[in-house]
Structure 1
C-alpha cells in the first residue's frame, strides 16, 4: 500500500518505521505519524499551515461549528462502503476522525503537507495511518483506494485518479459562493463573486460527476475567540484589513454567518493505472 516517496518501491515495516528494498528508510514519529515528505519535495522549510493556523482551526472545529459538514461527509462515505479510504489534505484530522468512526472496518489513511497539523491529527484516531506527505506525490500505490475525501483542500485530479481503483470515488467538499457571506460583507467594501463549480472543468477524462448536493445552515458566533479563530483559519485573516478584522471580533452580541458547502462525488470509470 505505502510506496517510497523517493523511488516508488513498496514500503515495508522496519524498526521504528518503514523501508523500501533500495534502502530508503523513514522513521515513525513518537506521535505515531510517518514523515514521507523528503526535503527535496518541499517548497519551503516548513510547508503547509503553521502552528498558529492549526491551533486556530482546531479551536474553531472543536466547538462544533462545522460538525454538520463532517457528519454529512461521514454519511456519504458510509454509503460507498469502502474497504480503504484516504483523506487528502487532512489538516489536523477533524474530518478524518469522523470518517474513521463511520468506517470502522475500513483501512484509513490521511495525509497533509503540514507536519504541525499531522502531529495534532494523530491524537484523534490512532487507527488511521497518518502521513506527512505531498498531495502531488501521494506515497500510495496505484488503484489502492476505494474512496478519497478532499475537504477544503487543493487537489491534484490526476494524482487522485491514479490512486482510485476502477469504480472508486472521490468526494470533494468545498464552499459555495454564499459561504460566510455575512463575514465577507463586513470585511470588504466589495464582495467578489465566487464560481463554486469551476473545479468541474478540471476533472480528467475517465472520471464523472455522480452526485452533487449543497448543505446550508446558520451559525451564531457568540464568543469573540470563535470569530478570531474563524478569521485565522481562512484567507480572510490576512486579506482583510486589521481594522475590519477587529470590528468582526469585537462585534457586540452574536455574529450570524451562513455555512454553505458543496459536496461533489466523482466516480473513476478509467482502467486501473499500471504500477510504476
Structure 2
C-alpha cells in the first residue's frame, strides 16, 4: 500500500526498510516508524509540533480529559466502512490507539509531519504502521483506504479523493463555537465567533455529508499542570500574551469541550 514519496512507485520491504524500483530507500527507525518525508518536502529542519508541545498533549490526554471524545471517535470509526484506515495528523497516537483497539484485526496506518510525535506514537501499539509524512503528499496508493480520520487537524481534500474508493469516507472531529470558550474568554478581550459548518463548504464534488453529531462536556482543571498543558497543546499557547497565560495557569478553570463529528463519504 505504501508508495515512494519521491517517484510514487510502490514500496516493498528491503532489509530493515523499504525501497522502490528506482532504488529510493527508506530505513525503519529503531522506534518502529518509517520516515517518508524527504528533505525536499520539508519547510523547516524539524516540521510539526516540537517536543514540548507533544509532551504537553501526551500528559493532558493520558490524564483522561478528552476520553469521551476518543471513545466516541473510536465507536464511530468501528461502525463505518470496514477495511484499511488512516489517521491523518495523528500526533502522539492517543486517538489512533483507541481506534485500533475498537477495530481489532484491521489494517491501520497513521501519519504526522512531526518526528517527535511519531516517535512517541510508536510506543502505543505495534499494530499500526506509523509514518512521518506530509498530509499533502500521503505516501499511500490510490483508492487504498476505506476510511480517513482527521482529529483537530488540517485536511487536504484532494488527497481524500485520491485515497478513497467509492463507499469510503472521512471521519472528522473538529471544534464547535463553544469549544474551550471559557479559556478563550480569559485570554482575549474579544472572542471571535466560530462557524461550526465552515468546513462543510470545502467538501469537493464526489463527496457528501453522511452524518453529523456533537458532543459537549465540562472539564474541571484544578491542577496547574493540566492548565499549562492545555495552553501548550492549542494555538492559544502562543497567541495570547504572557500575563494572561500565567493568570490561566495560576487559578482553577472550568472549561467546556465542545466538538462535532462528521462522516463525509465518497460517491
* C-alpha RMSD over aligned residues: 0.7
Shift of 1:119: 0.3
2 CA distance for matches of 1:237 and 1:267? 34
Q: How many residue pairs end up in the alignment?
A: 267
Distance (whole Å) between structure 1 residues aligned to residue 246 and residue 192 of structure 2: 21
Matched, 1:110 2:110: yes
TM-score in terms of structure 2 length? 0.99
User: Structure 1 stretches (4+) deviating beyond 6 angstroms?
Assistant: none
**TM-score of the superposed pair, with normalisation by structure 1:** 0.96
Gaps of 5+ in 2: none
For residues 52 and 161 of structure 1, the distance between their equivalents in structure 2, rounded to whole angstroms, comes to 34
Q: Tell me the equivalent position of 2:227.
A: 227
Residue 158 of structure 1: how far off its partner (Å): 1.0
Q: What do the CA deviations read for 1:211-235 (whole angstroms, capped 9, x no partner)?
A: 0000000000010000000000001
SS of residue in 2 equivalent to 1:167: coil
The answer to whether structure 1 residue 267 and structure 2 residue 261 are counterparts is no
Q: Which residue of 1 aligns with 2:174?
A: 174
What does residue 20 of structure 1 align with? 20
Q: Is the 8 A contact 1:86 1:147 kept in 2?
A: yes
Measured after TM superposition, the shift of residue 255 of structure 1 is 1.4
1:83, 1:105 within 8 Å by CA — same for their partners in 2? Answer: no
Q: Report the counterpart of residue 186 of structure 2 in structure 1.
A: 186
Q: Secondary structure at the match of 2:77?
A: helix
1:273 corresponds to which residue?
Answer: none
Shift of the alpha carbon at 1:80?
Answer: 1.4
Q: Distance in 2 between matches of 1:134 and 1:115?
A: 11
Q: Distance in 2 between matches of 1:160 and 1:67?
A: 27
Which residue is equivalent to 1:141? 141
